Amino acid sequence: MTKDNIQPDMMADKAANNRRIAKNTLMLYARMLVGMLVSLYTSRVLLNALGVEDYGIYGAVGGFVSMFSLISSALTSSVSRFLTFELGAGNKERLKAVFGTSLLIQMALAVIIVIVSETVGIWFLNNKMTIPAERMGAAGVVFQASIVSFVFGLLTVPFTSTIISHEKMGAFAWFGIFDIFARLGIVLLIAYCSAVKDRLIVYALLVVALGVLMQALYVLYCRSRFEECRFSLSFDRKIFREMGGFATWNFIGCTAGLLKDQGVNLLYNLFVGPVLNAARGIAGSVNGAVSSFASNFMTALNPQITKLYAAGDLKYVHSLVERGSKFSFYIILFFAVPILLETEFILGIWLGKYPEHSIDFVRLTLMLSLIGTLSNTLINLQNATGKIRNYQIVVGGILMLNFPLSYLCLKAGFNPESTYIVAILVDIACLFTRLLFLRKMAGLPVGRFIRTVLLNVTAVTVVAVILPFIIHLEMDYGWQRFVTVGFTSVVTVLLSILFVGCSNNERRFLIDKAKSFVERLYVKAC
């Protein structure tokens, strides 16, 4: 094949990849939009049904169990990376071996975690957590339900990773939509069924039952469609060493991430009590709804980064990393600006009454999410290299500072918001550290990333916020200000992204896509 023939083929492949990313992103957005609407409604109903105290207990106890997932999270990243890499390399036999070995590892890990949870976990629950004596029984049920849910989720990791690695986002979306409406049914049941006596216990048991059902559906789907999932359990020592080495070093980063989130959640419980956990849970719900737009985009993009790295196309990989960071930030910014300015009004309409600190927690969580999303593609690229030892030692070590610094802030009497300031500063330090590592490990042009991503998103944010912020200050609290600020934010963010944040090619592409979408709607309407 001549050089002239190769170039068009490469362009066609890249166009096909872009279309695949766009299609998968749209499927995940459909799932996410349904989930966001339902989640916003169910959070309010659940808070009212359980009450602030039980809502906080559920978050705190569930958060404690989640801390045991630090080992599984490391292995999950390992499984996903190895499956996607082998798909990109086209090695079917090794793909089967990776799947079978990962499943055996997850089974062994499940046994270990159950033993630790039923010993250390029970002791911590009974002796260290701040829970009213009359609710200890309910907290115990929540704890056991969380363990069961966690174990079944652990065993399903190789199957869900396979779906994402094969980029079957349509199936992933439909499974998610079913799960969302089932959870809605559970919340409505405990809220409005008079036969329910202890709502917290019933809610925990129904959630775990749904979790088991969803895992079974994932397994059945994968076994019917993917050859590597039709297996006889086997153990490949070489693959185990490779995955184990990757997971061991990734363990540091997972530990740091969990200490940052669930660890600080436990600190709130120890220093203040369940009410503060409830406020943090509300902030997490808002952030989850907003960041899901970006996370779904990244779910569609990340397999391409890993596969293209496996194929050796570094130039295209760098382009995807830069654009992925930039546009995932824009996606969150679009929703974050009106929420940041009108947090008090939104919480009042959504929840009516809400715990103290909720407003500040929501705002700070969104700011943290904006900074954190810039690193998502960088993390995926680093994982794609498979060379993560030094990276995890340094970056994971920096991330771990979240927990001791947050403890010192609360111990010294600073307000709970100080923990978020710590997290923001630590995330900024980690972002620049990741860039330095990737310059060496994957040839990432750091200067170009700073110019085309970091400076770019900073300029877009400043330009987008000025006018809505002025309107927020000048108008009185109420519906009129909310609508005006919301509309202005949407317009200024979009214009800022289009004319400040996009290159000429990106701007032309987005405008053409918008025109094509409008034309299709017009044709259908006629």
Are both 435 and 462 inside the same structural domain?
A: no
Are both 51 and 179 inside the same structural domain?
A: yes
Which residues, 6 or more positions from 524, have their beta carbon under 8 angstroms from its beta carbon? none
Question: Alpha helices of 117-168 — where are they, by DSSP H?
Answer: 122-127, 136-165
Are both 437 and 480 inside the same structural domain?
A: no
Sign of CA dihedral 214, 220, 226, 231: positive
How confident is the prediction for the chain on average, in pLDDT? Answer: 78
Are both 210 and 306 inside the same structural domain?
A: yes
Are both 392 and 513 inside the same structural domain?
A: no
Are both 401 and 501 inside the same structural domain?
A: no
Q: How far apart, in whole angstroms, are the C-alpha atoms of residue 83 and residue 362?
A: 36
DSSP H/E element including 5: helix 3-66
pLDDT tens for the chain, 526 residues long, are 444 444 444 444 555 555 555 555 555 556 666 666 666 666 666 666 666 666 666 666 666 555 555 555 556 666 767 777 776 666 677 777 777 777 777 787 788 778 877 887 778 777 766 667 777 777 777 778 878 877 887 777 778 777 777 767 677 777 877 887 888 888 788 777 766 677 777 877 888 888 888 888 888 888 888 777 776 566 667 777 777 676 666 667 667 776 777 778 778 877 776 677 778 878 887 877 777 667 766 766 777 787 778 777 788 889 888 988 998 899 889 889 999 999 999 888 887 778 888 899 999 999 998 998 898 889 888 888 877 788 888 888 898 888 899 899 888 888 888 989 999 999 999 999 999 999 988 889 999 999 999 999 999 999 999 999 999 999 999 999 999 999 999 999 999 998 898 888 777 777 776 676 566 655 555 5
Are both 294 and 429 inside the same structural domain?
A: yes
- Token digits of residue 204: 């925990």
| Residue among 134, 102, 222 nearest 171 (CA) | 222
Name the DSSP class of 229.
Answer: G
Can you give the pLDDT at residue 371? 92
Q: How far is CA 272 from CA 65, 223, 285, 468, in A?
A: 20, 47, 21, 35
3-state secondary structure 9-30: HHHHHHHHHHHHHHHHHHHHHH
| Residue among 49, 63, 116 nearest 269 (CA) | 63
Query: What b/e sequence results for 335-354 when a residue is b if at least 16 CB atoms lie within 10 Å of its CB, and e otherwise?
Result: bbbbbbbbbebbbeebbeeb
Can you give the pLDDT at residue 30? 61
Q: Which domain-ending residue is among 390, 416, 444?
A: 444
| Residue among 151, 146, 175 nearest 163 (CA) | 175
Q: Which domain-ending residue is among 414, 444, 474?
A: 444
Are both 12 and 42 inside the same structural domain?
A: yes
pLDDT tens column, 393-408: 888 889 888 889 989 9
Neighbours of 510 (CB within 10 A): 15
Helix (H/G/I), strand (E/B), else coil: 503: coil
Can you give the pLDDT at residue 123? 81
Q: Which domain holds residue 181?
A: 3-444
Can you give the pLDDT at residue 53? 66
Can you give the pLDDT at residue 25? 57
Over its C-alpha atoms, the chain yields an Rg (Å, rounded) of: 23
Are both 196 and 108 inside the same structural domain?
A: yes
Can you give the pLDDT at residue 381? 87
Q: How far apart, in whole angstroms, are the C-alpha atoms of residue 401 and residue 411?
A: 15
Task: Provide the domain count of the chain.
Answer: 2
Q: How far apart, in whole angstroms, are the C-alpha atoms of residue 486 and residue 506?
A: 26
Can you give the pLDDT at residue 3? 42
Are both 395 and 502 inside the same structural domain?
A: no
Are both 460 and 398 inside the same structural domain?
A: no
Percent of the chain surpassing pLDDT 90: 17
Are both 476 and 397 inside the same structural domain?
A: no
Sign of CA dihedral 333, 334, 336, 342: positive
Report which residue type is found at 237: R
Q: Which domain-ending residue is among 444, 462, 480?
A: 444
